[in-house]
Amino acid sequence: MMRPVSKAILASIWFMILTFPVMGIKLNTVEQTVEWQFDRIILLGVAIFFLSLLWNWCFSRKGRGLPLIALPSGMGATLGRLCSLPLRDSRSRAVSLTVLLLVMLVMPLVSSFYQTNIMILALLYVMLALGLNIAVGIAGQLVLGYVAFYAVGAYAYALLNQFFGLGFWACLPVGGLLAVLFGLALGFPVLRLRGDYLAIVTLGFGEIVRLTLLNWTSLTGGSGGIKNIPGPSFFGKQLSIEDNTIFIYYLVLLAVILTIVVITRLKNSRVGLALQALREDEIACEAMGIDLARVKLSAFALSSCWAGFAGVIFAAKSTFINPASFTFMESAMILSMVVLGGMGSIVGVVIAALILILAPEYLRAFSDYRMLIFGAIMVIMMIFRPQGLVTGERRKYRINALKGEQA
């Protein structure tokens, strides 16, 4: 009992010394005096003392293999049952999915323009995170420059529209296809790389794309970006801004549903199994007859196409794009969604994407501390639940036991 307390005291003293120059000294530039703010330092010390105790307590529970929050007996079980109730059997699952779908369908009709816009953004990120989940979560290829494919999609639409007058619907498949081509272009040279090396190369790739967009001023308009990108036409006619937003909302919702269906099917297929095997052991994969080059390229292609689609929709939604929307921060954000959600888990990634985009929007009061909170959440998750929110999503198989008739 003594050790945690003395450790906490040490931590708080250390913190007080460390933050003293920033928190404790205030220069009054008008009167040219120095104000000492010892009260703030003391408060900080006390806070750190208790935080440190809490931290220690969490670790000791983790060390003994206990859950962080122990609900009183009975309550935990009831809560678990309540949570799994909507998923218990296929009927209740259908009911809860229908309810969710209805809520999503009604949402833009009852909520404000502003909220619909945020929801569009959140759904776009769901799409991006699901796409990256193929490469990182399922196939284990650490791609750090994913936002480059998003940029490819967005600029494909913006440029094709500006120079050739192509509409949204024509550009949607083109954007996806171009992103796939870029994915393959990145995939070929990195076939032999894995882990850290792959991460560094893909990081560089993301930066190259962004810098090209930034500096090729004659084509892309540089940091000024491209303005007046039209929204999608609705059976041939352009919509007003308000209607356009609602239309795009439904479009993205449909795209997300499609993405979930496609990726679920993919994950549960022969190709998906090979992708998962790739994540676990490349040598064993080869020895089992899997063509590594082909599977890796599929992973890159399948992953990047969603970013391409999302990029086209993003350009149509925001009507203005510039390279500032495609920085490494975005890639890191999307990657965080995959990691937080649980590598390879589709439900987990959707939830994580929604949380990471919606929470900052609805917690504007804390917007100054956004990155601080984000960082803290990541650290805490990595220590206490490194496998992510949702794990153990497993496919069910039907066995027709063929007794006697073997291989």
Nearest to 139 by CA among 10, 271, 233, 262: 271
Nearest to 149 by CA among 296, 326, 387: 326
135 binds another protein (CB under 8 A): no
Judged by beta carbon, residue 221 or residue 348, the one nearer another protein is 348
Tokens of 368: 């100054």
Judged by beta carbon, residue 139 or residue 316, the one nearer another protein is 139
Contact 313, 117 (CB under 8 A): no
65 binds another protein (CB under 8 A): no
78 binds another protein (CB under 8 A): no
Contact 153, 308 (CB under 8 A): yes
Contact 147, 327 (CB under 8 A): yes
Name residues contacting another protein, limited to 302-361 (CB under 8 A). 302
397 binds another protein (CB under 8 A): yes
- Cα 359 to chain centroid distance, Å, stands at 13
Q: Minimum Å distance from CB 386 to another protein?
A: 14
277 binds another protein (CB under 8 A): yes
Judged by beta carbon, residue 210 or residue 296, the one nearer another protein is 296
* Longest CA pairwise span in the chain (Å): 95
Select from 32-40, 114-122, 352-360, 396-404 the region that touches another protein (CB under 8 A): 396-404
Torsion of CA 83, 89, 91, 92, to 10 degrees: -10
x/- letters, 365..394, toward another protein (CB under 8 A):
-----------------------------x
72 binds another protein (CB under 8 A): no
Q: What is the rounded CA–CA span in Å between residue 21 and residue 314?
A: 44
Tokens of 239: 């919509």
Q: Minimum Å distance from CB 198 to another protein?
A: 20
Q: Minimum Å distance from CB 81 to another protein?
A: 23
The Cα-based distances of 153 to 125, 163, 197, 326 in angstroms read: 14, 16, 26, 11
Judged by beta carbon, residue 242 or residue 286, the one nearer another protein is 286
Q: Which amino acid is at 391?
A: T
Select from 94-102, 125-133, 159-167, 258-266 the region that touches another protein (CB under 8 A): 258-266
Judged by beta carbon, residue 210 or residue 279, the one nearer another protein is 279
The Cα-based distances of 44 to 66, 77, 256, 348 in angstroms read: 30, 39, 45, 36
Q: Minimum Å distance from CB 49 to another protein?
A: 41
Name residues contacting another protein, limited to 280-299 (CB under 8 A). 280-281, 283-292, 298
Q: 33-36 and 25-28 as β-strands: parallel, antiparallel, unpaired?
A: antiparallel
Name residues contacting another protein, limited to 177-216 (CB under 8 A). none
265 binds another protein (CB under 8 A): yes
242 binds another protein (CB under 8 A): no
Judged by beta carbon, residue 159 or residue 180, the one nearer another protein is 180
E-strand spans in 237-303? none
399 binds another protein (CB under 8 A): yes
Task: Tell me which DSSP letter residue 70 carries.
Answer: -
By the criterion CB under 8 A, which residues form the site for another protein?
A: 262, 265-266, 268-274, 276-277, 279-281, 283-292, 298, 302, 394, 397-403, 405-407
